[in-house]
Structure 1
Amino acid sequence: MDGKPLFESERLVFSTWTPDQLDDVYRLHNNIEVSRYLTGREETREDAQVRMDEWAENYAKHGFCKFRLTRKSDGAFVGRAGFGVHGPEDTPELGYALLQSEWGKGYATEAAIAIRDWLFRETDHDFCWGFAYSANKPSIKILRSIGMVFTHTEIEEKTGQEMTFHKYTRDMWHG
């Protein structure tokens, strides 16, 4: 990945990552409030490197990843949003995380809409998943607000916690 901007929303720029941006990933995921519903712990620099390696692999293999988010107005790093892969068919899984200082500004919803639209505009995928721990009410609210439809819950094996799954299909998209 080369860090080039790929697309924009009203206030955000979505780009790939460069190795020198490891500190941003670390700063984002080293906050327990941000990582509470991801890994449940403050993540290390090594965890950040694993994430970046996974995102680079996903981008090379699938053409998508968890993109770097910067604010258009000043270029400041605000978080990440994009797609991971889920299941044996590597179905796109929509996800986002923002620096805690950027919460409450509408960036997560704006990013979720932008990546949803990007997926259907730029790829031939027929649907994507969005899921969150059932206790993560703000994330579930965002998934529903962008038109994703509840499908089911599952108990995550690693944590024993309930996950709430949502789906969005190409047929639902009005882009």
Structure 2
Amino acid sequence: MSDVPCLETERLLFQVPCREDFEEFAAMWADPDVARYTCGTPETPQAAWGRLLRYRGVWGVMGFGFWSVRDKQTGRFVGTIGFHDAHRDVTPSVMGVPEAGWVLASWCHGKGFATEGVSAACRWLDTHTPYRRSVCLVSPRNTPSIRIAEKHGFVLFAKPFFMGEETLLFERYAPD
């Protein structure tokens, strides 16, 4: 998939998700600390495989997607950062709007990788796509992700129910 841009920050490398990421990707999604605010329960390898394929495939359908992110210095898998359009059943509807997401392996929580990575992803969306608005859905209990969203200009605009629980829906507009 040569049409997927590779990004680089001071500490991170962003590349298209690939088969070689699977073992570390599946381990991340099986971690209860990672799953508690995302899918709710740890994922099986089969579910993680389906997710990896979706993350790779969304690029060809939407022109944006998730990157696999690695530590530049060590090559260690950090997580996934990017955008999708999950067609979530929430009100207000956000279908057709890039939904930002970041899921990082628990080994790197609290080290600033999410802040650095989300900054790069938002900058890319703002400068390389026609989309001027993006959203993100965050659990009200996920204080670190709420802080990351707010640092990047996402503003709370709704509290829809999703998967039976109230959640927070933030929106962000590209700077002029």
TM-score (norm 2): 0.89
Give the equivalent residue in structure 1 for 2:53. 53
Q: How does 1:35-114 map to 2 (within 5 A)?
A: 35-87=35-87, 89-114=95-120
What residue ranges of structure 1 are gaps of 5+ in the alignment? none
**How far 1:20 sits from its partner (Å)?**
2.7
Segments of 4+ moved more than 6 angstroms: none
- Aligned residues of 2:28 and 2:34 also touching (Cα < 8 A): yes
Q: Secondary structure at the match of 2:135?
A: strand
**How far 1:149 sits from its partner (Å)?**
1.1
**How far 1:5 sits from its partner (Å)?**
6.3
Q: How does 1:100-139 map to 2 (within 5 A)?
A: 100-139=106-145
What residue ranges of structure 2 are gaps of 5+ in the alignment? 88-93
Give the equivalent residue in structure 2 for 1:24. 24
Tell me how large the CA RMSD over aligned residues is: 1.8
**How far 1:74 sits from its partner (Å)?**
2.0
Counterpart check, 1:140 vs 2:146: yes
**How far 1:76 sits from its partner (Å)?**
1.5
Higher-strand-fraction structure:
1
CA distance in 2, matches of 1:20, 1:101: 19
- Aligned residues of 2:12 and 2:72 also touching (Cα < 8 A): yes
CA distance in 2, matches of 1:169, 1:120: 9
Identity across matched positions, percent: 28
1:163 to 147, 164, 167: 167
TM-score (norm 1): 0.90
Alignment: residue pair count: 170
